[in-house]
Chains A and B, each alone.
Chain A
Amino acid sequence: MQLSDRVTGAVLVVLGGVAAYAGSRLPAVPGQDVGPAAFPMLIGIGLVICGVLIALGIGRSFEVAEAEAPAGQGSRRLAGLRALIPPALLLFYVLAADRLGFLPTAAVIVLVMALALGARLRLAVPLAVVAPVLIHLAFYKLLRVPLPAGLLPVPW
């Protein structure tokens, strides 16, 4: 997700402005000059200043031009969507782990990730079976993390 400095700068200005405003609305501690509002307001103002400077392109001379692999326009748009797969899978874990249980959920995550990265089925399927079991062993047995059993309780 390559955005121009104007866009990210503007986002920072808005964020800083909102933070400073919301901070200024925080209730003060009676009998004290500086309370919970001071720090967020300072940060918010700082963010606004930085955002303006970034949007104006000041300080860009320090940046190291990064060699970006050339990509076609079409594949680029698709690539943007692919970036959403890992966070989407994490949210899937949050929603499904308690109902399905750890092993099936983890197997789905590993399988989808491996296939998305271009693994053959011959690699992806065994990996999706073995990796969750090993991680379950390590975290449930050794570290005693209460991973949900769900539909597929494990024998240990």
Chain B
Amino acid sequence: MTEMLEAFRLVAAPDVPIAILASAIYGLVVGSLPGLSATMATALLVPVTFYLSPIAAVATIITASAMAIFSGDIPGCLLRIPGTPASAAYTNEAYAMTRKGQAELALGAGLWFSAIGGIVGTLSLVLMAPLLAEMALSFSTFEYFWLAFLGLMCATLVARSSPIKAIAAMLLGLLIACIGMENPAGTPRFTFGIPDLLGGVEIIPALVGAFAVSEVIRAMVTPEPPPIPRRKFGSILAGQWQLTKKYQLPMWRGNLIGIIIGVLPGAGADMAAWVSYAMAKKFSKEQEKFGTGHPEGLVEAGASNNASLASGWVPALLFGIPGDTITAIAIGVLYMKGLNPGPTLFTERADSMYALYIIFILANIIMIPLGIGMIRVATLVLRAPRSAVMPVILLLCAVGSFATGNNLFAVILVALFGCLGFVMERNGYPVAAMVLGIVMGAMVEQNFITSLIKSDGDVMPFIERPVSGVLAAMTFGALLWPAGVWVWRRFGGGRLPAAETPR
């Protein structure tokens, strides 16, 4: 109980509410601009978190990412361009509703069910994390190796591209993580004689480059999206209660799937939304209405992507394994602020953990009034010409990455990763898989090599322990899943409902 009170005291510190409010507005605006994703919003925030107290720093990340995931629905609904990849699954549906004159209902559903999903996801985090923490205390390097490896394999499943390209992208990330002397033996590897590379490739410049600069480059070669027509909105929340009652089952299913996908290391909000939308369609009584402006899929997927956001913190806090690209950034911030992820975090820093839960709930509650405000001014924000937004983003990329270490080499890295990210995306290689490879490379190698040394080069101990055996089976399942699907499609004559995706 004293910890709970202490947590409230931490959240009530003057800088925390200010940080939550400012990052909420920032997240709403950035998320609503097409091409600027929630991950990018979070990555650009990191230099700012250097200068905040630990709780305020974590609060900015939580709030900004939750807001950005919701506000990605806005341009999807009004322009048929998803603001963040997590909204892409139901963009067509939302736009069809707008064409039917139900823009308010569609946007309101995005907002209302995002908030519900976020709160349910937080409750799952509150319940699950301490239970798993107890179990995690008995984990050795074998389990950690499989967990990290499973995370990487899930990251390749998320990608809606060829699984082989996704694995290649992930391996590329692991290779990049090899650079430097931060390996178990302390040998400098692949540094090409550049002293700046001895410490390895820093995560933040790589992230900013791969997610933000590549988008700026993309803006250079793609035509500008059409201007949005000005419009006034009626009541946003009218009718949401009826929707909640009518589509209770899809809503809970969406929450549940979001939570499960979020907890899986490596798979995040994008995947949750796609799976939930497909589920909604499959189990709906009115399948034929999907795609013509039917709110059911919106309810399920909108709840799902925000639920996954909160539960994605479970592997991040417990094992330091990112649940998605956003928590990959959050883990860096946690380390920086002395809240090192691990099972002991829940016993030794319980007050900080409670504070984190409170922030999650707060962020999802203030999402409703702020979100309504954002929807009202959206037509104004979305009118900002790309030629004004992108130059500022590019400048922020340069300054933000410089600020991570006051080192100009980081700016060079940002430029390199921008080009790499752009080329990869153009050719169907998922950038997120590479980034997770970079983030988790050191951890995979550390646990792999340590385990091999412990077992004297024997592979049996990797699968002998019960938990590691289960994790190994899951990992190979993820690895062989695409092959199984391919064989089934080829010879079973079965027709998979390929998720339809005009983006």
Instruction: Give the interface of A toward B (CB within 8 A).
Output: 1-3, 5, 8, 12, 15-16, 19, 22-23, 26-27, 29, 32-36, 38-40, 43-44, 46-47, 50-51, 53-54, 58-64, 66-67, 69, 79-80, 82-83, 85-87, 89-91, 93-94, 97-98, 106, 109-111, 113-114, 116-119, 123-124, 127-128, 131-132, 135, 139, 142-147
The reply on B398 being an interface residue by CB < 8 A is yes
On chain B, the residues within 8 Å of A144 by CB distance are: 51
With the chains together, A107 CA to B471 CA distance in Å?
Answer: 53
Interface of A, helix, strand, loop or mixed by DSSP: helix
On chain B, the residues within 8 Å of A62 by CB distance are: 161-163, 482, 486
On chain A, the residues within 8 Å of B183 by CB distance are: 36, 39
Give the 9 A-B CB pairs with smallest separation, nearest first. A113-B391, A119-B387, A117-B387, A50-B168, A90-B415, A59-B162, A59-B164, A87-B415, A36-B187
Task: Please tell me if the beta carbons of B448 and A39 are within 8 angstroms of each other in the complex.
Answer: yes
Mark each residue of chain B from 419 to 434: 1 if its CB lies under 8 Å from any CB of chain A, else 0.
1001100111100000
Task: Please tell me if the beta carbons of A97 and B408 are within 8 angstroms of each other in the complex.
Answer: yes
Task: Please tell me if the beta carbons of B399 and A39 are within 8 angstroms of each other in the complex.
Answer: no
| Additional A-B contact list (15), CB under 8 Å, known A23-B178, A36-B187, A146-B406 | A19-B175, A33-B452, A34-B457, A36-B184, A40-B190, A43-B174, A54-B168, A90-B397, A91-B415, A93-B398, A94-B411, A110-B391, A110-B394, A117-B387, A119-B388
Task: State the Cβ distance, B223 to closest chain A Cβ, in Å.
Answer: 6
Q: Which partner residue on chain A sits nearest B499 by CB separation?
A: A64
Interface of chain B residues 127 through 174 with chain A (CB within 8 A): 160-165, 167-168, 171-172, 174
> Number of residues in B with C-beta < 8 Å to the partner?
75
On chain A, the residues within 8 Å of B453 by CB distance are: 32-34
Q: List 19 A-B contacts (CB under 8 A).
A: A22-B190, A34-B453, A34-B457, A39-B178, A39-B445, A39-B449, A50-B168, A51-B168, A63-B165, A82-B221, A86-B213, A87-B213, A109-B391, A110-B391, A113-B391, A113-B394, A119-B385, A127-B391, A145-B402
Known: A35-B187, A59-B165, A143-B47. A131 touches B392 (CB 8 A): yes
The reply on B189 being an interface residue by CB < 8 A is yes
With the chains together, A89 CA to B412 CA distance in Å?
Answer: 10
Task: Please tell me if the beta carbons of B390 and A63 are within 8 angstroms of each other in the complex.
Answer: no
Candidates B164, B385, B390, B399; contact of A54 at CB < 8 Å: B164
The reply on B396 being an interface residue by CB < 8 A is yes
Task: State the Cβ distance, B423 to closest chain A Cβ, in Å.
Answer: 5
Task: Please tell me if the beta carbons of A86 and B387 are within 8 angstroms of each other in the complex.
Answer: no
Task: Please tell me if the beta carbons of A35 and B217 are within 8 angstroms of each other in the complex.
Answer: no
With the chains together, A129 CA to B20 CA distance in Å?
Answer: 30
The reply on B371 being an interface residue by CB < 8 A is no
Task: State the Cβ distance, B252 to closest chain A Cβ, in Å.
Answer: 29
With the chains together, A147 CA to B398 CA distance in Å?
Answer: 11
On chain A, the residues within 8 Å of B288 by CB distance are: none
Mark each residue of chain B from 181 to 208: 1 if its CB lies under 8 Å from any CB of chain A, else 0.
0011101011000000000000000000
Task: Please tell me if the beta carbons of A69 and B486 are within 8 angstroms of each other in the complex.
Answer: no
Task: Please tell me if the beta carbons of A64 and B161 are within 8 angstroms of each other in the complex.
Answer: yes
Task: Please tell me if the beta carbons of B406 and A113 are within 8 angstroms of each other in the complex.
Answer: no
Task: Please tell me if the beta carbons of B392 and A86 are within 8 angstroms of each other in the complex.
Answer: no
Task: Please tell me if the beta carbons of B168 and A106 are within 8 angstroms of each other in the complex.
Answer: no
Task: State the Cβ distance, A51 to closest chain B Cβ, in Å.
Answer: 7
The reply on B219 being an interface residue by CB < 8 A is yes
Candidates A19, A86, A119, A147; contact of B399 at CB < 8 Å: A147
Q: Which partner residue on chain B sits nearest A82 by CB separation?
A: B220
Task: Please tell me if the beta carbons of A109 and B398 are within 8 angstroms of each other in the complex.
Answer: yes
With the chains together, A123 CA to B150 CA distance in Å?
Answer: 49
Q: Which partner residue on chain B sits nearest A89 by CB separation?
A: B394
The reply on B414 being an interface residue by CB < 8 A is yes
